Amino acid sequence: MVHVQALRTLPASTALSPIVAIRQSEHTFAHFATSKRAFAIQPIPTILPDLYLVSRLPRYVTDTLNVEQIKKLQKNGSVKHEISIFWVPRRTLVSNKILEDEGVLGDVNVSEFSMYFLPLEDDVLSLELEDAYMELYLVGLHCTPRPALTYIFQRRDPTSIFLASKALMLVQQRHGFFPRILGKGDNARKLANLLVRGRKELDVEDSVGYSDGARGILPSATLDSLIIIDRDVDFATLLLTQLTYEGLIEEIVGIHHNQAEVDSSITGTAPQTSTQQPQSSTSTNTVPPPTTRQSLKAKIKLDSSDSLYSQLRSANFAIVGSLLNKVARRLESDYEVRHSARTTTELGDFVKKLPVYQQEHQSLRIHTNLAEEIMKQTRSETFNRVLEVQQNIAAGTDATYQHDTIDELIARDVPLPTILRLLCLESCISGGLRPRDLETFKRQILHAYGNQHLLTLDALEKTELLQPRSSANALLPIPGTGNTGPQASNTPATKTNYNYLRKVLRLIMDEVNEQDPNDIAYVYSGYAPLSVRVIQCILQKSYLQSLNRSPFPLTPTSTGWQGFEDVLKSAKGPTFTITQKPTDDRVVKARDSLRGTGAGAGGTGGWKTIYVMFLGGITFTEIAALRFVGRQLEGEKKRLMICTTGIVSGNKVMEGLMVKKGLDGGSGGG
């Protein structure tokens, strides 16, 4: 690490500046006397002597560092600068090579800042890796959405899996090893293998005396298990329009690091007014020039620090209006208390509560205005046509009946990400599109949105989101064949068979109570996310049993995946369970005896935490569904901790795979 004498300013890359701004209030940066400012890297402040650049692990050089400005500062700057670069979360040989090729490696101090999980909420930890999805699932040549950049993946990049293992190993070193690791999917298996390897390395370090104690080699007394879900087990949920309040904010406005950028009218900030100058200075017109109002953007914070947002975030948008109305009536009643106050004590109590009331009133105004803006979109004909197509495909109706609507949406010049989501949704759920229909849609997209999207369509095929039905159906598992022997269990499915799982796991619920939900299907108004249903196969076996007419082979002692092994063969990737046992049972018994958590002490000793890790990203709607499951587990003294490589949505994935420039170098359509 670089010895820090006086940290004057802390520029950060564009992706990290919101995170740095949040983290500056904590002791990590206060210890180094960091000023309460976080700059984007472009432009770098030139008047400050000590510069510390914080940037993500480099893949896109021109996005990451303003190399040319660093060179100018070192050669021509009037102030002598000492520049240090901290790669987040780690420094690599690639980062050194980049700096060496740019000719600045000898002019800067290079180190790393091991920042892995970021707590977005008390129950949500994220690595905030924006490109994890493409790195895990995209193979081959593709143009990024970043201007004038092209990257090549000859093979899938497992960096995000490695970073996830490092983050989870830190959890284990602090709280003890996960007694069980369960997972579904190819990448989930790779992550589990890295965790097992990491534990063996710690065991070796402990055996030779390098470890700081025996705590790290013991199974945790507070952690129940780790459940790992690979995103490609359930691509379809990612492509559906999210219908919770938080999900729709992400779909329509966009949420980045718990912040959303909205129009200033939503927050109540008056827009700027500017006077339009006359075109000619010799004009004799005495009428004053008209004024124009320029729309401003304001950032609003969206997290649990806002009590109203905590109530609204996981609710289906259909009931958000009634919830806001209830809060408005309650606040009105609270304000009316001041009229009935008869003593100075009662008035004093009201004055003490007044700042809280004012804060709630401000939050109510913001979320009422934001809900009205979202409602303008949800009431539009286009939104409802798209939602109808999605729900029909998810319900298993013949997707070819939806093609006329998709043709109409293309003719109306609906944004390309919306069209691609519909086509990819059909491909995922129906096992691909008919080759003739797929070629027809490709031609329409190229004609309507530009020939550069030939590369976009190629990228969708490489990620297996858009495929012809002939090749996809050949890979679908056939349920009910009676092949349930050991050899069959070792042969993972290469595609997810939604048609079979829809029936067995009841992915479609005909009756959903959005006001008082009793199933996770409320988040999509009738569709239960398959990714969360898979987790329920572990945590809520009896509930899934009650939904299915044909009984699962469950016993009172069934744990892990037991009872659902045959069902989950129809979901993509291997299903596995790893039990981590202590190297010395006597140490565990002694620890439990001292804590009073052993069998002789009666009970498990309190609450247990279940970690759920999503590789490739998770949607806000899936988070809402997992929180619903978590509330039902509270009676068993269990809580869920949701971990992910990043927050994703259908639009983010489509825009990440889309080509933004034409094949001739000009700006493309769509």
Taken in order 79, 80, 82, 85, the sign of the CA dihedral is: positive
The whole-angstrom separation of Cα 531 and Cα 544 is 14
Q: With cut-offs at 50, 70 and 90, classify the pLDDT of residue 295.
A: low
**ω before 477 within 30° of 0 (cis)?**
no
**For residue range 569-588, what is the model confidence (pLDDT) as tens digits?**
999 999 999 998 877 666 66
Encode 342-374: b = buried (16+ Cβ within 10 Å), e = exposed: eeeeeeeebeeeeeeeeebbebbebbbbbbeeb
Say which residue the tokens 């699932």 belong to.
Answer: 137
Measured CA to CA, the distance from residue 345 to residue 114 in angstroms comes to 53
Instruction: Please list the residues that pair with 644 across neighbouring strands.
Output: 126, 614
As a whole number of angstroms, the distance between CA 273 and CA 548 comes to 62
Confidence of residue 589 (pLDDT cuts 50, 70, 90): low
CA distance 138 to 118: 25
Cβ–Cβ < 8 Å for 164, 191: yes
pLDDT attached to residue 190: 96
**Whole-prediction pTM:** 0.84
Percent of the chain with pLDDT over 90: 48
pLDDT tens sequence across 199-248:
888 888 777 766 554 444 677 889 999 999 999 999 999 999 999 999 99
Looking at 3.90.830.10, 3.40.50.12280, 2.60.120.10, 3.40.50.300, the CATH number of the domain 299-378 comes to 3.90.830.10
Higher pLDDT, 341 or 213: 341
Predicted pLDDT at 320: 94
Identify the burial level of 497 via C-beta atoms within 10 angstroms of its C-beta, where 0-12 means exposed, 13-18 middle and 19 or more buried.
Answer: buried
Question: Where, residue-wise, is CATH 3.40.50.2060 in the chain?
Answer: 17-115
Would you place residue 364 in the very low, low, confident or very high pLDDT band (cuts 50, 70, 90)?
very high
Q: What are all long-range contacts of 71-79, with beta carbons under 8 Å and residues at least 24 apart? A: 71/103, 71/104, 71/107, 73/44, 73/46, 74/104, 74/107, 77/46, 79/46, 79/47, 79/48, 79/49
The answer to whether 442 and 466 are in contact (CB under 8 A) is no
CA 94 to CA 57: how far, in whole Å? 9
Q: Is the pLDDT higher at 459 or at 593?
A: 459
Helix axes 416-430, 650-657, angle to 10 degrees: 100
Q: Is the pLDDT of residue 476 over 70?
A: no
Name the percent of the chain lying above pLDDT 70.
72
Say what the pLDDT of residue 440 is.
Answer: 96
Phi-psi region of 244 (alpha: psi -120 to 50; beta: other; left: phi over 0): beta
The CATH classification number of 17-115 equals 3.40.50.2060
Which residue is it, tokens 């959405």?
Answer: 145
> Which residue's entry shows tokens 């690091």?
257
d(CA 366, CA 362): 6
pLDDT value for 624: 96
- Nearest alpha carbon to residue 318 among 374, 267, 250, 386: 374
Domain limits, CATH 3.90.830.10, in the chain: 299-378
Q: Residue 268 and residue 258: Cα distance in Å, rounded?
A: 20
pLDDT in tens, 139-183: 654 444 443 334 444 467 888 999 999 999 999 988 889 999 999
Q: Which of 123-132, 248-257, 345-354, 477-486 has the lowest mean pLDDT?
A: 477-486
DSSP lists the bridge partners of residue 408 as none
Identify which has the larger pLDDT, 604 or 250.
Answer: 250
What does the pLDDT look like over 244-288, one tens digit per residue?
A: 999 999 999 999 989 999 998 888 765 544 444 544 444 444 455
pLDDT digits (tens, 9 = 90+) for 641-656: 999 999 999 999 999 8
User: DSSP class of residue 56?
Assistant: E
pLDDT at 287: 52
Can you spell out the DSSP letters for 308-357?
HHHHHTTSBGGGHHHHHHHHHHHHHHHHHHHHH--SHHHHHHHHHHHHHH
Token digits of residue 212: 């700081």
User: Quick check: 412 pLDDT over 60?
Assistant: yes
Mean pLDDT for all residues in the chain? 79
Q: What gap in Å lies between CA 326 and CA 324, rounded to an integer?
A: 5
Q: What is the pLDDT of residue 386?
A: 96
Q: Which residue shows structure tokens 């929180």?
A: 627
- The pLDDT value recorded for residue 106 is 82
pLDDT reported for residue 290: 54
Instruction: Express each pLDDT in 81-115 by its tens digit.
Output: 777 787 888 888 877 887 888 788 888 888 888 88
Dihedral angle, C-alpha 218, 220, 221, 224, nearest 10 °: -140
CA distances (Å), origin 227, targets 294, 324, 391, 538, 572? 49, 36, 29, 9, 16
Contact between residue 109 and residue 84 where contact means Cβ atoms under 8 Å apart: yes
Say if residues 564 and 552 touch (Cβ distance below 8 Å). Answer: yes
CB-based contacts of 255-261 (< 8 A; 24+ apart in sequence): 255/302, 255/620, 255/647, 256/18, 257/18, 257/19, 257/22, 257/120, 257/128, 258/120, 258/301, 258/302, 258/303, 259/18, 259/299, 259/300, 259/301, 259/302, 260/299, 260/300, 260/302, 261/297, 261/298, 261/299
CA neighbor of 129 nearest in space, from 147, 110, 115: 115
From residue 462, how far is each of 155, 189, 494, 527 by CA, in Å? 11, 21, 14, 27
Structure tokens at 135: 């790195």
**Would you state the pLDDT for residue 273?**
47
pLDDT at 105: 82
Q: Could you count the other beta carbons within 10 Å of the beta carbon of residue 208?
A: 8
- The per-residue pLDDT for 444 is 96
Q: Which two tokens stand for residue 281?
A: 């200075």
**Across 2-11, 391-400, 604-613, 621-630, least confident range:** 2-11
At 21 the pLDDT is 46
Mean pLDDT to the nearest integer, 547-560? 82
Q: Is the pLDDT of residue 604 over 60?
A: no
Answer whether residue 28 shows pLDDT above 80.
no
Q: How far is CA 620 from CA 239, 247, 302, in A?
A: 13, 5, 12
Q: Answer for the pair 277, 209: CB distance below 8 angstroms, yes or no.
A: no
Q: What is the pLDDT of residue 660?
A: 75
Dist. CA 222–CA 109, nearest whole Å: 41
pLDDT in tens, 659-669: 876 555 555 55
Instruction: Please tell me whether residue 530 adopts helix, strand or coil conformation.
Output: helix
* Closest residue by Cα to residue 45 from 70, 19, 20, 75: 70
When pLDDT is averaged across residues 389-411 and rounded to a whole number, the result is: 94
How many Å apart are CA 129 and CA 57, to the nearest integer?
A: 10
What is the reported pLDDT for 267?
A: 86
Please tell me the predicted confidence (pLDDT) of residue 494.
86
Q: Identify the residue with better confidence: 111 or 530.
A: 530
Q: What whole-number distance in Å separates Cα of residue 255 and Cα of residue 248? A: 10
For the residues 295-320, what does the mean pLDDT come to?
91
What is the C-alpha separation between 5 and 3, in angstroms, rounded?
6
Q: What is the DSSP letter of 220?
A: P
Q: Report whether pLDDT(452) > 80.
A: yes
Q: Are 220 and 172 in contact (CB under 8 A)?
A: yes
Distance CA 579, CA 305 (A): 38
Q: What are the pLDDT digits (tens) for 375-396?
A: 999 999 999 999 999 999 999 9
